[in-house]
Chains A and B, each alone.
Chain A
Amino acid sequence: DTGVSQNPRHKITKRGQNVTFRCDPISEHNRLYWYRQTLGQGPEFLTYFQNEAQLEKSRLLSDRFSAERPKGSFSTLEIQRTEQGDSAMYLCASSSAPGQGKETQYFGPGTRLLVL
Chain B
Amino acid sequence: GENVEQHPSTLSVQEGDSAVIKCTYSDSASNYFPWYKQELGKRPQLIIDIRSNVGEKKDQRIAVTLNKTAKHFSLHITETQPEDSAVYFCAASLYNFNKFYFGSGTKLNVKP
* Contacting residue for A104 out of B4, B34, B43, B105, CB 8 A: B34
* Contacting residue for B32 out of A50, A55, A103, A106, CB 8 A: A103
Does A107 count as interface, using CB distance less than 8 angstroms? yes
Does A108 count as interface, using CB distance less than 8 angstroms? yes
Q: Which of A82-107 contact B (CB under 8 A)?
A: 91, 95, 98, 103-107
| Cβ-defined contact, B102 with A48, below 8 A | no
* Contacting residue for B98 out of A41, A44, A56, CB 8 A: A56
Find the A residue at minimum CB distance from B107. A40
Chain A residues near B14 (CB-CB < 8 A): none
Q: Knowing A103-B32, A107-B44, A109-B43 touch, does A44 contact B97 (C-beta < 8 A)?
A: no
| Cβ-defined contact, B44 with A31, below 8 A | no
> Does more than half of chain B's interface fall in helix, strand or loop, or is it mixed?
strand
Does B54 count as interface, using CB distance less than 8 angstroms? no
What's the Cα separation between A41 and B91 when bound, in Å?
12
Q: How many residues of B sit at the interface, in one of the four size bands?
A: 20 to 34
- Shortest Cβ gap from B53 to chain A (Å): 13
Q: Knowing A42-B89, A105-B34, A105-B46 touch, does A55 contact B102 (C-beta < 8 A)?
A: no
List residues of chain B with CB under 8 Å of any chain A CB: 1, 4, 6, 32, 34, 42-46, 49, 89, 91, 93, 96-105
Provide 18 A-B residue pairs closer than 8 Å at the C-beta atoms, listed in order of the A residue: A35-B102, A41-B104, A42-B103, A43-B89, A43-B102, A45-B99, A48-B99, A55-B98, A58-B99, A59-B1, A91-B44, A95-B97, A98-B97, A103-B49, A106-B46, A107-B44, A108-B43, A110-B43
Task: A43-B89, A55-B98 given; name 20 further pairs at CB < 8 Å.
Answer: A31-B97, A42-B89, A42-B103, A42-B104, A45-B99, A45-B100, A56-B99, A58-B99, A59-B1, A91-B43, A91-B44, A98-B32, A98-B97, A103-B32, A103-B93, A104-B34, A104-B46, A107-B44, A107-B45, A109-B43
